[in-house]
Amino acid sequence: MRMPTELHLHLEGTLEPEMTFRLAEQNRLDLPWRDPDELRARFDFTDLQSFLDLYTMSQEVLRTGEDFHALTDAYLARAAAAGVRHAEVSLDLQAHTGRGVRAAEVLDGVTSALQAAPGRHGLSAGLIVTVLRHLPGEAALATVREVVESGYPVLGLGLCSTELTAHARDFVEAFDLARAHGLHLTAHAGEEGPPQNVTGVLDHLRVERVDHGVRACGDPALVARLVAQRIPLTVCPVSNLRLRVVDALHEHPLRRMLDSGVMVTLNSDDPAYFGGYLDEVTDRTAEALDLGEEHLSTLARNGIDAAWVEESRRRELH
């Protein structure tokens, strides 16, 4: 079975080494690796930070609106081939403005590709701008202000990067401003951080979904809350394996959480780095956790119910 939606996907995490080298040549940049194979050989991560370091370094090649358009379009083509019919993709805007690329250049390239998705690839797509947790709350607020004033079509606000430093409280103003402008809200929590981080983003940022959230399974009261409030978790088992959140895929808590009634959805996170787009993630997860048709149908249904789409589009997806 194929998943009809992908809700947790970092566009920068779809940058395949071949494209990294092509863009480096186009933009006349030197890379510290000899060729795509040498870069790919570095995709052996020990934790989230070891991944973020390489992910941040590779992004340097993204310079122009056309680069962002090409990155987005390539993901959409691959997602369509994986059977995805609706994608909500995240973009670390601050990572690009922080190294001198204009926000309008980035947003123009990405949103033009997303808007062309139904005609070109047969899927609908929306944009989530993610703010970086390792930067100050004031920077997040300035980014949200810039995004809402820009007029570009943005569906939601997210929060990502390391969970081990700042508290969710630091981002309340940014999330309040986004909510006031009608943006949907999500945040990474409970990936490398404790269950309290999940509670933190629910209580302080009042997010509608939680990205990852798998560490919540260590807190039965929190699991009960996620079930009672039907809060979707955008879970990425292969990412969790590759970043050593779990030691083996068959030990992943996804099946236990589903069986407890948590609204789990299945996603790829950073497929170029973790070795699998959503079709491959689905097959590997189903095999490792012995998921049958019923579990897979529930995951597919949850993905549609958790998507930020109009009800008419939701009915089409179902």
* The entry of Zn ion, ligand HPA, none that residue 48 binds, CB within 5 to 8 Å by partner kind: ligand HPA
Decide: is 89 part of the binding site for ligand HPA (CB under 6 A).
Answer: no
CA angle 81/244/232 to nearest 5° reads: 60
Nearer to ligand HPA, 26 or 49 (CB): 49
CB 198, CB 216: distance < 8 Å: yes
Which residues neighbour 203 within 8 Å (Cβ) at sequence distance 6 or greater? 168
Per the annotation, the verdict on 191 as an active-site residue is yes
Measured from each CB, the residue nearest to ligand HPA is 160
Q: Which of residues 154-193 bind ligand HPA (CB under 6 A)?
A: 160-161, 188, 191
Q: Please tell me whether 269 is known to bind a ligand.
A: yes
Q: Which of residues 237-266 bind ligand HPA (CB under 6 A)?
A: 239
* Shortest reach from residue 318's CB to Zn ion, in Å: 26
Which residues neighbour 222 within 8 Å (Cβ) at sequence distance 6 or greater? 195, 198, 199, 216
SS3 percent helix, strand, coil of the chain, rounded to 5, is 55, 15, 30
Binding-site member from 11, 48, 82, 289 for ligand HPA (CB under 6 A):
48
Pairing mode, strands 264-266 and 184-189: unpaired
Q: Please tell me whether 167 is known to bind a ligand.
A: no
Catalytic residue among 38, 191, 208, 294: 191
In order of 41, 192, 221, 227, the CA distances from 236 in angstroms are: 22, 13, 22, 19
Q: Please tell me whether 121 is known to bind a ligand.
A: no
* Shortest reach from residue 211's CB to Zn ion, in Å: 5
* Shortest reach from residue 63's CB to Zn ion, in Å: 23
**C-alpha–C-alpha distance, residues 15 and 140, integer Å:** 24
Decide: is 88 part of the binding site for ligand HPA (CB under 6 A).
Answer: no
In order of 11, 65, 92, 112, 218, the CA distances from 69 in angstroms are: 11, 6, 15, 7, 40
Residue type, 50: S
CB 67, CB 110: distance < 8 Å: no
Q: Please tell me whether 188 is known to bind a ligand.
A: yes
Decide: is 270 part of the binding site for ligand HPA (CB under 6 A).
Answer: yes
Q: Please tell me whether 10 is known to bind a ligand.
A: yes
**Binding-site residues for substrate:** 270
Provide the binding-site residues for ligand HPA, judged by CB under 6 A.
Answer: 10, 13, 48, 160-161, 188, 191, 239, 269-270
**Binding-site residues:** 8, 10, 188, 269-270
**Binding-site residues for Zn(2+):** 8, 10, 188, 269
